[in-house]
Structure 1
Amino acid sequence: MDKVALGVILSALIAFALSKTFSLGSRRKGLPPGPPTKWLIGNAHIFPKGNLHLAFAEWSKVYGDVISLQVFHQTIIVLNSPSAIREIIDKRNVASSNRPRTMIGERLVPNEANFGMSKLADEKWKACRKAANALLHSDNLKKFTNLQTAETHQLLWDFYHTPEDWFQNIHRFVVSFASIIIYGKRSPRVKSRDVAEFMAVHPQFMDAMNISAIVPVDIFPILDKVPEIFVKWKKQVKQVRKMHEALYGRLLGQVQDRLKLNIGNGCFMEDMILRGDKLGINDRDVLLNLGGVLLQGSDTTSVALQNIICCLVCYPDAQEKVYKEIEQVVGVDRPPHIDDLPNLPYTRAFIEESNRLRPLDPLALPHCMNQDEIVNGVLYPKGSVIFMNIWGLMHDERYFEDPYEFKPERFLSNSFGVRQDADDDPARRPNLMFGGGRRVCPGMPFAQLALGINTASLIWAFSFSPYRDPKSGKEILPDMSHYSVGVIASPKPVKLQITPRSQKHVDVIEKCFQETGGIFAPFEHELSNEDQQFNAKYRDLM
């Protein structure tokens, strides 16, 4: 090769290398618009450390419904409208069904056993997904109606006798009812072992999965190589994983033991164990973590109900309207029943508005493109992380009048709550809060059922008002902006004044609770002495 040819080749290679070097951190041609980037770091200097949904919503006002950011080499795309979600997440669900790799997530749960955050939507994931859909389908949940009602009646009893523990009482209800369905056992008390362990493990698990906490490790994989002795988070994750596997391994083992003794009760895990080979779900780690994901997912119902109660306190006029509606339909001789819900439109509107104002999952769990897609001339490259800004599209002033105000009435005039003087986004659907595509949350029927009957029952039984400081006499309202924002936006525990509507309501609550024993009996396994004493002292009196 002559010197001229060699020089041309070397010059071309140098030019290519320089172009790559100078383009580091820049936005690729064809990507959605977004804030200006800087060399090498892209948008890392302005990428928020928390409350990502708020920043994304503000940027969308400047750059449009679909925006992109570059954090070093990682492309992030944010969808800020129902139409954008439909085009990418729903219509192109094959291309967008992956999850981004998270090193902390893989340390918490092995990828091949991680149903919730599994990177690939492979055959094992599809089998788990199919099983979860069958379990949580609204038709299947009907067979648990009596148990749902009984657990709701205990929730009313708990609120009456321990109103100061209202936050924990909700967790007990959700964990107990979900455990009946998944593991065939329940928890009578807040201090029952399953509830106590779940409430010790779950917050730590969610903290570890906090998106803003894992970004540096995923952007700089070299950080994963730092020895554990120098990195606090590795020790923390190892401990959380140990606690996680101990809890769900114990629950799974109890189901297996009961099957050996022929005392099954038809719960989900029994079915998975007996039909696992046929379903393609026969690995213990997969079974352990499938049950864990389902139980963890149910806790979003706790957060939603806690949020609704905070709204009741902050918006007393709306609370009074809900109570008047329930009183007219139900009366005072019994608590509301599931069959009453279709006749309680304002109650439904109150729940919908609470969920709109404070969506549980402001960004939903992120997706990841597994191939390049070009939609309307815009590039969605392979490996890009896709966020759905649920908070942003629920506070979009183009579609919601006074979006930061609490107005349940908006859902009476329109099923989506959108303003009457504007054409709505044609892609809006009722389950946007639960994600989209192949990864849409299968627990929507469970959550909607639990929220409807428990909201109606609690408002039927109690009035909710602000806590009054005993020294100053000043009322202290829940701070609706004082939320723990990570993967889930959770209200922080707050003191409230919870007052029974009347002595008649109290008498009905006591009677209904004492009637639950026979319904619960097949699911009260492995009860501690304290649990048995609780039942004998307070419930099993008839």
Structure 2
Amino acid sequence: MALLMLTTLDIVAGLATLTLVAIIYARQLSSRKYPPLPGPPGLPIIGNLLDIPTPQNNAWKRYLEWGKKYNTDAVQFSALGMNIVVLNTVECCMELFEKRSSIYSDRPQLVMINELCSFSYGTAFLPYNDVWRDQRKAFHLEFHPTAVQKYRPPQIAAVNQFLCQMLDKPEGFLEHNRFFAGVIIMKVAYGIDVKDEDDPYIGIGEEGAAVISRTIQPGAFLVDVIPLLKYIPEWVPGATFKRLGREWSIAALNMLNTPFEAFKKFASSGDTIDCVANSLVESFGKELDDPEYREFIIKATLASMYAGGADTTVSALGTFFLAMTLFPEVQKKAQEEIDRVVGTGRLPNFSDQSSLPYVEAVIREVSRWDPVLPTGVPHQSTEDDYFMGCFIPKGTLVIPNSCGMLHNEQDYPDPFKFNPDRFLKEGKLNPSIRDPTTITFGFGRRICPGRYLAKESLWLAVSNVLATFEINKSIGEDGKPITPNGEYTRGLLCHPKPFPCTIEVRSSDHETLIKAALDS
């Protein structure tokens, strides 16, 4: 047994080494005519493996530092033969992801999440192929700006439920954030009504989203760098990732299949369900001849809604509560605007959106101040290319430094200050100040297809919480306010760590309003 184990590892290690050497040599030949983009020098074979910062160490800041050090807006480095380019400016992203989208719209095929964890169906993870195009078409049919308006009633119902949970258990606000996001997605996607936080469908979505956050970061698992490792048997020492992949694939397949099977059961009973699943089955599905492929595309599109939407909404709401705790003057100003425009006899609704510019500015600052994705999901080039007089080889990972762009002092002066007024001029939204969501939702053909629904849900939740609750610092045993440290759990996706605050309904009239809204 020991001899067999050694032989297997020797073969895999030898093949991996030969593959890396061949890749590096081929790229050196291709790039002799043009230099690479500026960046830190690397070591033979491993490149900059020891220099690459982790998300926990605010990688986006290091990328900005490299850009300044090497006087470049696009930084290039490598790790074990993998070529990586980080774009630090919007202009670079527009040039590559928009103008050259035909060769910069692919995704790196990460073995851990796509193959071992069975998440290859996810729209965000698919290569740039026909399956991806069919899913994007399905998304567009249901989530363009006009189409999403038909899903406003379930969003309003979810917000009313959210407010009542806040009223009953304000200290659980972070859990309520997550439940709120799940309720909207399950109702909009499948027509499933979620009543409580122990609902099994919420659990399925939560488990799937958790696996994604653990595996999506390139290089998080060695098998993503050396794909040949996927052939190592699970019992080999050091192959724990194989066991994890097998276990986590259960969550991925549950996310794909279980809610859709529930929808089909509802539909077969003759009940009319106004949801994305029903719409796609009745319209888009008829455009595809193969019934098995048709069902797969629909299921994958629906599951991708949860994979792409739940964590991002939860993170943004968490940042909102943190900001309101730390900056009470911002909260007060937003509440004054709501009271003036909406009054205190009803809750804000979508018809108020254009009349509440300061509330919109608060949401934009939440998106900018500590974004959900500090560095966007990596793209991958499908052809050799030349940019700024430098060579970018085929297969390069190209990463937008979202947080770096959102903390650009030229676009956002004093960028680490939470200041919604930066987006306003003479009491109105200033169109000359870039909306952060043009960065946070990605670029080009890989821009988030559910962004309009996500923006509407966030606006409705934030405006209603501001209208009905006061968020303040908790008081410690010494009688002094406790200032949250503002720490985040950082990975590809970021969430505020639990922090103390007090959340109280603004008045008895507001409490009555919340309860009446739930019963309506």
* 2:188 paired with 1:181: yes
Aligned-partner residue type, residue 223 of structure 1: L
What TM-score, normalized to structure 2? Answer: 0.88
Choose from 292, 296, 301 the match for 1:290.
301
1:336 equivalent in structure 2: 348
Aligned partner of 2:397: which letter?
Answer: V
2:231 aligned with 1:225: yes
- Do the aligned partners of 1:184 and 1:265 also contact (CA within 8 Å) in 2? yes
- Residues 90 and 436 of structure 1 are in contact (CA less than 8 Å); yes or no, is this contact kept in structure 2? yes
**Is 1:250–2:258 an aligned residue pair?**
yes
The answer as to 2:491 corresponding to 1:478 is no
Contact 2:409-2:415 at 8 Å conserved across structures: yes
Q: Does 1:322 align with 2:345?
A: no
**Deviation of residue 510 (structure 1)?**
0.9
Provide the C-alpha distance between the structure 2 equivalents of 1:259 and 1:485, rounded to a whole number of angstroms: 41
- What CA deviation, in whole Å up to 9, does each residue of 1:185-233 have, x standing for no partner? 121211222223322442233212233413x322222332332123222
Quote the residue 2:414 is aligned against. Answer: 402
Query: Which amino acid letter does the alignment assign opposite residue 126 of structure 2?
Result: S
Which range is displaced more, 67-76 or 108-117? 108-117
State the one-letter code of the partner of 1:340.
Answer: D
Q: Does the aligned pair in 2 maintain the 1:100–1:368 contact within 8 Å?
A: yes
- Of the structure 1 ranges 35-44 and 97-106, higher mean CA displacement relative to structure 2 is found in 35-44
Alignment partners' CA distance in 1, 2:240 and 2:297: 28
Give the residue type in structure 1 aligned to 2:474.
Y
Contact 1:107 1:238 in 2 (8 A): no
Q: Choose 249-258 or 220-229, whichever is displaced more.
A: 220-229
Which has the larger Rg? Answer: 1
Kept in 1, the 8 Å contact 2:124–2:304? The answer is yes
Q: What's 1:60 paired with?
A: 67
Structure-1 residue corresponding to 2:385? 373
CA distance in 1, matches of 2:468, 2:264: 40
Distance 2:198 2:122 in 1: 28
Letter in 2 for 1:276: G
Correspondence for 1:389 among 401, 407, 411: 401
Name the structure 2 match of 1:30: 35
**What residue number does 1:276 align with?**
285
* Aligned-residue offset at 1:405: 1.0
Deviation at 1:52, TM superposition (A): 2.2
Question: Which residue matches 2:5?
Answer: none
Supply the distance in 2 between the matched residues of 1:170 and 1:306 (Cα, whole angstroms): 7
Please, which of 305, 323, 334 is the counterpart of residue 311 of structure 1?
Answer: 323
| CA deviation vs aligned residue, 1:110-169 (integer Å, no higher than 9, x gap) | 5763322012x2122111101112211121111122222222111111111111211111
1:23·1:39 contact (CA, 8 Å) conserved in 2? no
Aligned-partner Cα distance in 2 for 1:276–1:219 = 37
Quick one: which of 325, 339, 357 aligns to 1:345? 357
Relative to structure 1, is the Cα distance of residues 21 and 198 closer, same or farther in structure 2, using a 3 angstrom cutoff?
closer
Determine the C-alpha separation between the residues in 1 that align with 2:184 and 2:54: 36
The match for 1:84 is: 92
Quick one: distance in 1 between partners of 2:157 and 2:444? 34
Deviation at 1:429, TM superposition (A): 7.9
Find the residue that maps to 1:495 and give its secondary structure: coil
Check conservation: 1:462, 1:501, Cα contact below 8 A.
Answer: yes
Q: CA deviation at 1:282?
A: 4.1
The separation in 2 between residues aligned to 1:356 and 1:167, in whole angstroms, is 20
What does 1:415-454 correspond to in 2, within 5 Å?
415=430, 418=433, 431-454=438-461
State the Cα RMSD in Å.
2.5
Q: How many angstroms apart in 1 are the aligned matches of 2:466 and 2:455?
A: 17
Q: Does residue 45 in structure 1 map to residue 50 in structure 2? A: yes
Given the alignment of the two structures, is residue 512 of structure 1 paired with residue 509 of structure 2, yes or no?
Answer: no
Match of 1:140 in 2: 147
| Matching residue's letter, 1:494 | F
Q: What SS class does the counterpart of residue 254 from structure 1 fall into?
A: helix
The secondary structure found in structure 2 opposite 1:409 is: helix
Give the structure 2 partner of residue 531 of structure 1. Answer: none
CA distance in 2, matches of 1:21, 1:437: 29
Q: Distance in 1 between matches of 2:441 and 2:27?
A: 40
Is residue 502 of structure 1 aligned with residue 507 of structure 2? yes
Which secondary structure state, in structure 2, belongs to the residue aligned with residue 438 of structure 1? helix
State the distance in 2 between where 1:240 and 1:48 align. Answer: 26
The worse-fitting range, judged by mean Cα deviation, of 332-341 and 287-296 is: 287-296
Could you tell me how far apart the structure 1 residues matched to 2:124 and 2:49 are? 27
Q: Which residue of 460, 466, 469 corresponds with 1:459?
A: 466
Shift of 1:252: 0.8
- Correspondence 1:189-208 to 2 at 5 A: 189-208=196-215
Of 456-465 and 297-306, more deviation after overlay is shown by 297-306
Question: Unmatched 5+ residue regions in structure 1?
Answer: 1-15, 419-423, 516-542
Supply the distance in 2 between the matched residues of 1:27 and 1:506 (Cα, whole angstroms).
70
Output the CA distance in 2 between the equivalents of 1:495 and 1:429.
28
Change in 2 beyond 3 A, CA 1:27/1:297: farther
Contact 1:208 / 1:237 at 8 angstroms: preserved in 2?
no
Q: 1:108 to 1:54 in 2, by over 3 A?
A: farther
Percentage identity across aligned positions? 25
1:205–1:240 contact (8 Å) kept in structure 2:
no
Query: 1:29 offset after TM fit, Å?
Result: 4.0
Describe the superposition over 1:45-86 as per-residue Cα deviations: whole angstroms up to 9, x where unpaired: 211133322211221122211110111211100111111001
Q: What per-residue deviation string (whole Å, max 9, x for no partner) do you get for residues 323-375 of structure 1?
A: 11111111111111111111111111111111111111111110000011223
| Alignment partner, residue 238 of structure 1 | 246
CA separation of 1:452 and 1:417: change in aligned 2, threshold 3 A: farther
Q: Which residue of 2 aligns with 1:162?
A: 169
Q: What residue in structure 1 maps to residue 129 of structure 2?
A: 122
Q: How many residues align?
A: 486
Distance 1:55 1:417 in 2: 28
Q: Contact (CA 8 Å) 2:326, 2:483: kept in 1 or not? A: yes
Query: TM-score, normalization: structure 1?
Result: 0.84
Three-state SS of the structure 2 residue aligned to 1:476 is coil
